[in-house]
């Protein structure tokens, strides 16, 4: 997989590729699934943006057209499938963004799609992320302590104070997640949910 192909992926592009890992779909189904799963928590979802993204992915060779269907008075719908290059691209993007602590918006997308990676790999990546978070937390904690020793006014420290608290909370959450992954209490991977009633109901509703 060429690095520039991964670099050009947008968060929407990653989510489209991840959806197609679940099965062949037309863009209307993609939009409906994203909204049913409340993916608008992570990014802005509009029909125009998604259709433009699908077009770009197709031109890049990351997805293929399977055919065009038309039922009754419905508009034509083109069904797409993931190519091998697209499958590799989404996994590479998640592998790259999951350990980073400097791009929180992209991390949320990577975390939402981390189930596309195998459990041992996710554990290793999150351990690397934890090391970076520990360093960043210590930097904020020590900087806050030093500033207070110098009698820096509290009102100019509130942002640092907040960030230190958020980093501490994320470390606590991450430790819990790693424990659940390592003890296999947390089901993991596509096979853990594709056969669930809720999953099947979502796919069926989105296909209407």
Which is more confident, 70 or 155? 155
Same domain, 58 and 83: yes
Q: Which of 113, 114, 87, 117 is nearest to 5 (CA)?
A: 87
Same domain, 84 and 164: no
Residue 76 confidence class, pLDDT cut points 50, 70, 90: confident
DSSP sequence for 53-86: HHHHHHHTTSEEEEEEE--TTSPPEEEEEE-HHH
Same domain, 69 and 158: no
Same domain, 129 and 160: yes
Number of folded domains that form the chain:
2
Same domain, 67 and 165: no
pLDDT by residue (tens digit) across 53-67? 999 999 999 999 998
Same domain, 101 and 30: yes
Q: What percent of the chain has pLDDT over 70?
A: 87
Same domain, 43 and 95: yes
- Domain CATH code at residue 103: 1.10.10.10
pLDDT by residue (tens digit) across 123-140? 999 999 999 999 999 999
Same domain, 42 and 96: yes
pLDDT by residue (tens digit) across 196-206? 666 556 656 65
C-alpha–C-alpha distance, residues 174 and 133, integer Å = 10
Same domain, 133 and 66: no
Same domain, 48 and 97: yes
C-alpha–C-alpha distance, residues 125 and 131, integer Å = 10
Tell me the C-alpha to C-alpha distance, in Å, between residue 173 and each of 41, 167, 170, 179, 183: 19, 10, 5, 10, 16
Residue 7 confidence class, pLDDT cut points 50, 70, 90: confident
Determine the distance from the C-alpha atom of residue 190 to the mean position of all C-alpha atoms in its chain, rounded to a whole number: 14
pLDDT of amino acid 184 = 94
Task: Please answer whether residues 92 and 46 qualify as being in contact, where contact means their C-beta atoms are separated by less than 8 angstroms.
Answer: no
Alpha helices in the chain (DSSP H): 3-7, 11-21, 27-36, 47-59, 84-97, 104-112, 119-149, 158-182, 197-206
Q: Which of 106, 100, 90 is nearest to 128 (CA)?
A: 100
Same domain, 32 and 106: yes
Note down the domain range covering 17: 3-113+190-206
Question: What global pTM score does this model have?
Answer: 0.85
Same domain, 37 and 139: no
Region of 63 on the Ramachandran plot (φ > 0 left; ψ -120 to 50 alpha; else beta): beta
């Amino acid at each position: 997989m060429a690095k520039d192909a991964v670099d050009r992926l947008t968060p929407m592009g990653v989510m489209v590729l991840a959806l197609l890992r679940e099965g062949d779909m037309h863009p209307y189904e993609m939009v409906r699934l994203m909204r049913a799963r409340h993916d608008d928590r992570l990014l802005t979802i509009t029909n125009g943006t998604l259709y433009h993204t699908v077009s770009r992915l197709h031109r890049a060779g990351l997805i293929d057209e399977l055919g065009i269907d038309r039922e009754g008075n419905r508009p034509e719908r083109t069904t797409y499938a993931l190519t091998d290059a697209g499958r590799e691209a989404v996994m590479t993007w998640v592998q790259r963004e999951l350990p980073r602590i400097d791009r929180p918006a992209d991390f949320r997308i990577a975390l939402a799609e981390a189930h596309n990676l195998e459990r041992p790999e996710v554990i290793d990546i999150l351990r690397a992320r934890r090391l970076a978070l520990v360093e960043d937390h210590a930097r904020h904690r020590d900087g806050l302590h030093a500033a207070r020793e110098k009698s820096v006014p509290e009102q100019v420290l509130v942002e640092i104070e907040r960030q230190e608290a958020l980093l501490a909370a994320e470390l606590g959450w991450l430790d819990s997640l790693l424990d659940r992954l390592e003890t296999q209490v947390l089901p993991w991977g596509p096979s853990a949910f594709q056969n669930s009633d809720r999953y099947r109901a979502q796919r069926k509703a989105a296909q209407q």
